[in-house]
Chain A
């Protein structure tokens, strides 16, 4: 049976269904029994039975696939567990190694921080811009909407990500070819591009220095001054650019944030804008004084969800950089590092410690966001 992977999984799926049916009936029966022992009415007994019967798949799955693994990994994070070897408790050694010694982990933490500081606001900004453009009730709005949303559906497939590897190629990639052609034809754009390269390389050099204590790349970028006229971004070839490619991909996939903003925009009463227009407020002023404050709950939602998503980035890093040594560590995300560090030598204990640290970071960041929200998020009109 195990020889045929399809048959094996089909039979396993069937067995799972049977298991879930029995578990649900069991859980429902248990709930009914408890309610009966509490001497409640027959109606309430039936309600408890039905409720737990239908909710059981999630409850059982939650116990098996979330609670149990989390408890197990919490225990393992204090051990030196490797698959196929005896387990020994090592206290806080894993965490000490992670925080004090492990350069790879620190690097992935700084990289993820970089994506969150620069990528996330850019993504939210572009999503907001697209939503505002679409909200003008133009004809053909649906086609535009579908086009902007499509990358969300396709974007994280390894196949499409490989296409980005082709596009971002430093030498004959299409982006750099276009940049070269444009900056040759229009010197102004050439200067802008060189300025952008200058700034990006200094900032990235600084963050690289944070990861390994070596700031030479930043100093070199500073010392060289404005790059030469024919310079182009070295997207997937330089540690100064590897994270910028990931940011490009993040911004490209801003479609679901755009949908959220569109929903928020349609909820803003037209009269408000019209009244402000009559009062002589410019379009720019209306955007900042009316649209943004009223959209703040939606911006907040997108920031929270986007932050969690950014902390979980894996596919772009895998496809663009998995084999791209030695610059790969300059782009490793937390989850990619978790994958690599754990499964290279099946170090479950160490991997568990990383998982729990990631969980703690997400919890803290989300908590801080919720604490800060009443400073700037207004729910008046909702």
Chain B
């Protein structure tokens, strides 16, 4: 009984910010800035949502985030899956060395590379486009994701592709038709992680997509709060926040059984 009490209390604390986000988005401006506690608005007001959903800047930011996250996700997922295949199902000279090199990049924080990369993208005249946010992923961006898929692929019995090989299939066919369908759950997990990281990315869009036309959701939502306002339009900000996090909720809802089952963790132990 005490255990349940503890777990419930912890759950309330952990999910409180999300509850508060939704609750505030339904309040009127007066209630949101009131100096007393209003847990649930006396009357759900949808003005904030109406305001946000008719704001062309918000809609464009939504489109931008969706476009960039989807395009980056496809390329990253495919290239990560290809590289993981090389590290798990193929034996080639130099494999262990390259693999060790890849793992060592886990120690390099991505942010430590932004300065030279910025110069590089500037030379390509890519500042002010989505390219710096999308293209690097196509080169199997994310060593952790490669590692996760490699661990999953390594568990598939070797006889499977050997017999396919004897039947005349080439590596591309084995990869696409035999290996990938067998690791759907890890693929879903990796896709979720990638989507989340693209959707939440703030530093990248701040550097490369500075014009209003290219604003992604995190950048746009951050501009809604202005410290010089005497009263912040909290219901509007929170309505935008709720709509921003909806895709994350949806993705997590469908992928949670893979993530929480510990696909990630089983990858770490191997």
For the complex, is A189 an interface residue (Cβ under 8 Å from B)? Answer: no
Please, which residues of chain B bring their CB within 8 A of the CB of A174? Answer: 20, 37
Q: Any chain A CB within 8 A of the CB of B182?
A: no
Tell me the smallest distance from the CB of B202 to a CB of chain A, in Å.
5
Is A287 part of the binding interface, using a Cβ–Cβ cutoff of 8 Å?
no
Q: How far is the CA of A16 from the CA of B82 in the complex (A)?
A: 16
Tell me whether A159 and B141 are in contact (CB under 8 A).
Answer: no
Whether the pair B18, A58 counts as a contact (CB closer than 8 A) is no
Main secondary structure of the interface of B (DSSP, over half): helix
Which of B50-92 touch A at CB < 8 Å?
67-68, 71, 75, 79, 82-83, 85-87, 90-92
The listed residue (B14, B75, B136, B241) touching A147 by CB distance below 8 A is B14
**Most chain B CB inside 10 Å of its own CB: which residue of A69, A149, A342:** A69
With an 8 A cutoff between CB atoms, is B34 at the interface?
yes
- Given A76-B116, A158-B221, A5 contacting B17 (CB threshold 8 A): no
Q: Are B131 and A12 in contact (CB under 8 A)?
A: yes
Q: Can you list, as one digit per residue, whether each of B105-136 has a CB less than 8 Å from chain A (1) or not (0)? A: 10111111111111110100000011100111
B154 → chain A, closest Cβ, in Å? 14
Q: Which residue of B lies closest to A147 (CB)?
A: B11
- At the interface, yes or no: A163 with Cβ under 8 Å from chain B? yes
Q: What's the interface size class on B, roughly? A: 35 or more
Q: Mark B91-111, 1 if CB is under 8 A from A, else 0.
A: 111110010011001011111
Q: A299 contacts which chain B residues (CB < 8 A)?
A: none
Q: Give Cα A10–Cα B75 distance, bound, in whole angstroms.
A: 11
Flag whether B48 is at the interface (Cβ < 8 A). no
Instruction: Give chain B interface residues in 166-213, CB to chain A under 8 Å.
Output: 171, 175, 196, 199-200, 202-203, 206-207, 213
Q: Which segment, of A46-54, A203-211, A270-278, faces chain B?
A: A46-54
**Cα–Cα distance between A166 and B23 once the two chains are bound (Å):** 12
Name the A residues within 8 Å of B35 (CB-CB): 171-172
The answer to whether A318 has its CB under 8 Å from any CB of chain B is: yes
Chain A residues contacting B26 (CB-CB under 8 Å) are none
Partner of A148, one of B11, B227, B244, B268: B11
A65 in contact with B113 (CB, 8 Å): yes
Q: How far is the CA of A359 from the CA of B92 in the complex (A)?
A: 31
Question: Is A150 within 8 A of B14, CB to CB?
Answer: yes
User: Sorted from nearest, which 10 A-B pairs have the closest CB atoms?
Assistant: A61-B139, A51-B92, A54-B86, A69-B116, A159-B241, A158-B218, A263-B265, A55-B86, A73-B116, A58-B140
Chain A residues within CB distance 8 Å of chain B: 2, 5-6, 8-10, 12-13, 16-17, 20, 31, 35, 44, 47-48, 50-55, 57-62, 64-66, 68-70, 72-73, 76, 83, 130, 133-134, 136, 138, 142-151, 153-154, 156-160, 162-167, 171-172, 174, 177-178, 181, 252, 256, 259-260, 262-263, 301, 308, 311-312, 314-315, 318-319, 322-324, 335, 338-339, 342-343, 348, 351-352, 354-356, 358-359, 362-363, 366
